[in-house]
Structure 1
Amino acid sequence: MKGRLQHQIRKQVLKAFKENYSIKSIGSAKLDVVQHYLDTQFEHHPMAALEVQARFGKYQIDNAHAALNSIRRSAHGEFLYNLHLVLVHAGRWREIRDDRLTRSRDLIERIAVKKKHLLSKARLLPDHIHLTLGCDVKESPMEVALGYLRIDD
């Protein structure tokens, strides 16, 4: 994100982002609104079989230690860089098999650790997954998203 902003702003201000900087918010989405949205996903997407819906509870991730509203620091400044990712299954395939859901949840957690992302929430639904996470300013949103699409990890 910094690189993209830097590129655009430097067209007008040549020395932009050469020194320390502080980026706290771009856009109108607020963390508490996004987190609440994730918490209500099962209300938005109810399943026909209640026993299947009940099983999904064990595949959700809630990490209270991932403080996405805490300012993080780099060598050049301080920042908040959080993303809400939505990953949709190809063809909106509805996955309800326990072994696949366990694998998906575990893979999300492993990737977050490997990439040093602050994984706050993951909501696994039959045909899509929501993630809220804090990222490094060196990663573009596309790089972050593609990192979670790996199936060979």
Structure 2
Amino acid sequence: MPNPVYSLEQLKPAFHLRYTWTGWPTSGTKFPSMPTEIFFDPLDSAWKSDSLRRIATVWETDKIQFTFATVPTVAPTLFVARVKGRLQHELRLSGTPVKFSRKVAFRGIGKNHTREVTNYIHKQVEKDAFIDRRLLEILKQFTVIDRSVALDKPSESNSGRYWYNLHIVLVVANRRRIRLEHEFAKLDRAVQATATKHRYGIAIRAWMPDHLHVALRGPIAESPAEIAYAIMNNTAFAMGQNAIWQPGFYAGTFSEYDVHVVGGSH
């Protein structure tokens, strides 16, 4: 296998990632009343070491929900394990041990809703006034919608339900403009092949001369960085192992709800 053009350590991402975790006690039990902020001090410190910053809390006796700001290297499965494990440990230390239900809910949320993100990507070609007519017709072919990908429905697993939707943006190196139809076709086939191999559910993608937008449902064991990394390296391989992208990416979470619902606007 050829060496990857990009490494995770090399990439410098921009991101807006907000993860929520919702947990329930086992049937017939309840959580204690919401503790004081002193209870959260060691928890927040521990979560900080996991690259998680708590920004909102909903604590009820039958349900607890946390919202965190996080970074692109944190996958949903790791996130869920760290939130639940550290909370359970702290409850035990405080003398109020709780047995959690096996079910859990994960949701990535952002400033925009699913429809806003997908509409924004869909209109990329139309809103660029500098694209000539020939190139415009080429790009329309490579704005691809897959309506079988239901971003509003959860991915089910043994550990719970996950709404893991990502908006990924890659920018062509040196802002070089891709103009040839066969190059777009080759790159798009590489993205499709990557999605098939890694089980990415790409709901919509739009190629532009100097960047790519993708809205997808990610596999819960892969972080946003790993997803962007896979797409970058496979498309680079398709173009002759050339570093066609800037060594970075944008990753943002989105859902049917936004951060204002949980009070996590910061």
Q: Same fold (TM over 0.5)?
A: yes
Letter in 2 for 1:108: V
Runs ≥4 residues deviating over 4 A: 8-13, 15-18
Q: Percent same amino acid among aligned pairs?
A: 22
Conservation of the 8 A alpha-carbon contact between 1:87 and 1:130 = yes
Report the 3-state secondary structure (helix = DSSP H, G, I; strand = E; otherwise coil) of the residue aligned with 1:149.
helix
Structure 2: gaps (5+ residues): 1-74, 92-99, 239-266
TM-score if structure 2 supplies the norm length? 0.53
Instruction: Give the superposition deviation at 1:15.
Output: 7.7
Structure 1: distance between partners of 2:85 and 2:110: 20
Q: Does 1:93 align with 2:176?
A: yes
Once the two structures are superposed, the pairs formed by residues 1-150 of structure 1 within 5 Å of their partners are 1-2=75-76, 3-4=78-79, 6-7=81-82, 10-14=85-89, 19-150=102-233
How many angstroms does 1:92 deviate by? 1.1
Higher helix share: 1
- Could you list the per-position Cα deviations for residues 23-51 of structure 1 after superposition, in whole angstroms to 9, with x for gaps in the alignment? 13433321101001111112332334212
Kept in 1: contact 2:107–2:163 (CA 8 A): yes
Q: Cα deviations across residues 42-87 of structure 1 (Å, max 9, x unaligned)?
A: 2332334212212211122111111111111111111110100001
- Contact map agreement 1:38 1:130 (CA 8 A) in 2: yes
After TM superposition, the score normalised by the length of structure 1 is 0.88
The code of the aligned residue for 1:107 comes to A
Q: CA RMSD of the aligned region, Å?
A: 2.3
| Distance apart, 1:11 and its partner CA | 4.5
